[in-house]
Amino acid sequence: MVVATQIRRGQVVVLGGDLYKIIKLMHITPGKGNAVVQTDLRNIRTGVKTEKRFRSSEDVNVAYIDTHSMQYLYAEGDLHHFMETSTYEQYEIPADVIAEALPFIVPNHEYAVDVHDGRPIGITLPDNIVLTIVETPPPQKGDTGKSKMAKTDTGLVVRVPLFVAEGDAISVSTADGSYLARA
């Protein structure tokens, strides 16, 4: 149990016996009255999003989550296969469990996979990741725009500067999917 003001984005809390991952969190301090913590939560079992407001002094039950370093292997239909790097044990994770992370998952890269009671429940992404541009229009002579759209090897569409070409590796923010720099 922790006080509501100590919970953070990405943590998993227990409400009514179900696990919820905190997607968005905002501390609200009104001019009059008590401070509250407004959260957007996703039910890990069902995938349903919900909002919950906690009083700042309210106790919140935070779930104990293990984090394992796992290598992404491949996708097979709706299942994504990961291998724990220390034990070589393989896990199948349904796409709906890691839906928000899928545009940033590249084969043969290692990710921090969150595990609760021996079951993978999500992925903690790094702050940025390197992706390869597979499709983008070439710059046109006289083009005065500052950016163009480009598709990466994971299917993510990113707004990039005009000088970026197909085959270039770029660094992308995993927080909002924006272009950061050439890699």
One digit per residue, pLDDT tens: the chain, 183 residues? Answer: 888 888 888 788 988 888 898 888 999 888 888 889 999 998 887 778 899 999 888 899 888 888 899 999 999 988 999 999 899 999 998 888 888 888 999 889 999 998 888 888 888 888 899 999 999 988 777 777 788 899 999 889 999 988 888 999 999 998 888 899 888
33-37 contacts, C-beta under 8 A, 24 or more apart? 35/5, 36/4, 37/4, 37/5, 37/7
Domain finish residue from 42, 60, 78? 60
Shared-domain flag, residues 52 and 10: yes
The whole-number pLDDT of residue 40 equals 92
Q: Which domain holds residue 85?
A: 66-124
The C-alpha angle with vertex 78 and arms to 126 and 10, in degrees rounded to 5, equals: 30
Q: In 10 A of CB 158, how many CB atoms?
A: 22
